[in-house]
Structure 1
Amino acid sequence: MASQPQSKNPLLRLAQPLFWLLDELSPELESAARLDALKSEVRTRLAAFKQAAQAAALKADSVEAVHYCFCAALDQAGSRVRGRADGLRGVWLHHGLLMQLYGEKDFGQRCRSWITKLQETPNASENALGVIAQLMERGLRDERGMPLPKIQLVHQWSPVEVIPSAATTPQRRHVTIANSAAEHQRIHVAVSNPSGGAVEPSDVLITVGMPVQEAAPSQELSPQRSWRLIVIAVVVTALVIGLAWVTYRQHLDNQALASQVSALEAQVAKRQEPLEDRIARALTSETGASQFGLSTEGDRIYIVFSSGMGFAAGSADITPMLARQLERLAGVLTTDGKVTIVGHTDDSPGARGRTETNLALSAARAMAVGRNLQAHGLSETRLSTMGRGAKEPVGDNKTAEGRALNRRVEIVLDRQRASVPERASPTTAGD
């Protein structure tokens, strides 16, 4: 007997549930509860995929490559989920798949190397390359967001390999048999297959119908009975319309309630997340961790930007990159505590025609940062600025690396109103 058509690519067949979950991780996803459920289901499906592939004795490198690339694709898709009012932004990456399963912070730094390795043996690795090609069509990129190298397959898999279409579904033969006294007897039907070969029992749809009866002669209705039927029809129609209206109103009320619940979930998530985590997530989205420093001490949070990122040499004009970062920072500063901005320089002499001294340059840069935060809604009463020049180095001014560490702007956030303590600043990457 003929068997149900199977995918020519066993890895692709085993990975179909993961493709469905990947498609559901869209930027329009708004429910925090659904996102949590997807996280749990994704981990279960990834483990099941790996176990099934290993049980089928599939090529170990191919299974590991597909597993890794799925983790990268799901992390990249999860990072794009924003939710209502950006309430879900970055939530997926708190427990990212690559971090948990591979100890990686980037979004798939090994995807490119896996593809290169698999393409060295294109025939043996074609199943894995076919799955990764499908992931690339759904948006898989490298850790920098750049397109991955195009995959040339020995045999081109059709789209039916992921989502079966009607073209690959076995044709059903429909046989109708009039019911008789043998209604409960077993029925044997022989059906021919135009394409040749045997026909599966599941491919035959048998309908047992009731015996055909002749219609009784029609009888004319009396006027009184006709009016009764009309009244009944009107009443039934009114009841149906009323029920439909009540159902519609309940649907609208449920939608409004769901929107309120989603908004409250987003607010609760924001309030529960520590301020330093929100700051880190907001700033990391553009610069990466190497362009700023973040530390806490008691009720204070210390943020350090390198002058190389925020200012041109000898200038107090804020660069567009730092301006965007300050705008993001102002958006998450929900405390009422004091905000102190301190400018620092190295001990190199200032260039002529610009700020005359390092002390004046550091003060000018601190004031520029303060004005920018104030322009984005931060109260002037909370702000204070100062310049320290080269008085508080954190690196050795005798080396280029040390001087780069010393050229910085430090923002100190007090959760409660208090003076700023004297302390060494956390280090950041240089200019």
Structure 2
Amino acid sequence: MSFLTPEPRKIEEGAAEIASGARLIPRITIQAFCENSQTAQLVESAIHDRRMSKVALTTHNGGLDGAVETYKSNPTPNLVIIETTLQPAEISRELERLAEVCDASTRLVVLGHVNDVMLYRELIRSGVSEYIVLPATSQTIVGAITELFASDGAAPIGRTVGFVSAKGGAGGSTIAHNVAWMVSQTLRQDSLIVDMDLAFGTAGLNFNQDPPHGLADALLANQKVDQTMLDRLMSKAANHINLLTAPVTLDQTYDFEEREFEGIIEMCQASMPVVVLDIPHSWSAWVRHTLATIDEVVIVAEPDLANLRNAKNLSDTIKALRPTESAPSLVLNKVGLPRRPEISASEFANSIECQLLGQVPFDAALFGTAANNGQMIAEVSANNKINEVFRAVGLHVTGRQAPGGAGKSSGLKMPSFLKKRA
């Protein structure tokens, strides 16, 4: 029996077609006390889940005894995870010892080796936040922590989708903008395009917009930026489509720290159901961190050898950065370029081990006209079959074809065994 199977939750009204982004766990400290090295490795692997990006997690040896000795002279964290190999009759008695040295606000998750529903009910009644039967997965542990600390009543978090080119000129920005347009117009959902190529971005050009402010203003404001300011910096390109444009000036360089964009993206998620990130073709700490922490990553590539090499490197790195998340997807662009030898779509996708979402044929006249007019492909040629590719990609990255949602809050009690010191 699984104790952590989440109940399906209805998607928030007003975003019924969009799978919401992951609920992030707030900045908390977690200490785990394990009796087996395999369990310690399991708990440590949970930190790679992007929901845990703000969490400080440490693991220790010694199980329940180790925790008791530690907290006799040290303060307790927000959450304690204990592995125990004790029999059911002994667990509750031993937890009383832990209660005597723990703060009242600390929560407890027990990892046990006995699959006993009566034990589970007894521990929950006594105030233990959750009991997980081993062996388990890191997703199970992260799910339990999410249920405890990510408020079910919190505002829905928008879904973040990043498009990155495997090679300069592969068309990642064009694909990103057209997919965002199709999501906004087909699903009638507010979408925000964040042009992260501050020096050479094209979102303003492609939507025939020249707003005086944009993403750079939000970044340069540092800690002063808030939701109200961010809303003012956004420009409306069309119904349901909004932009955070790049300044596209070279009067300064744009060197950012790893988490520089993190706060801005979180604020964007708070106000928009879909946030499309137009990520530049570069490799820096902030690009790496962004790719590791968003909901979906789409690699845009042309079907040639250089793109294949780069796409393979990107795919392998992104999978390593986010082992518990969905693998990156692939869109092939400029397929059928005259007189160019090309790698077949199936061979390309199989080589980089990514799902192929669509192929966009080369059409210089159509894309050139759209770019020169500051329009999307659907505006230039509404009945063109290329629009179906953008629509299919949009449905996939927004989760519409397989809608999902985080489970309901389990309503677990505050640990009553910890209230003895309150």
TM-score (norm 1): 0.23
- Whichever structure has more strand as a proportion of its residues is 2
TM-score (norm 2): 0.24
- Whichever structure has more helix as a proportion of its residues is 1
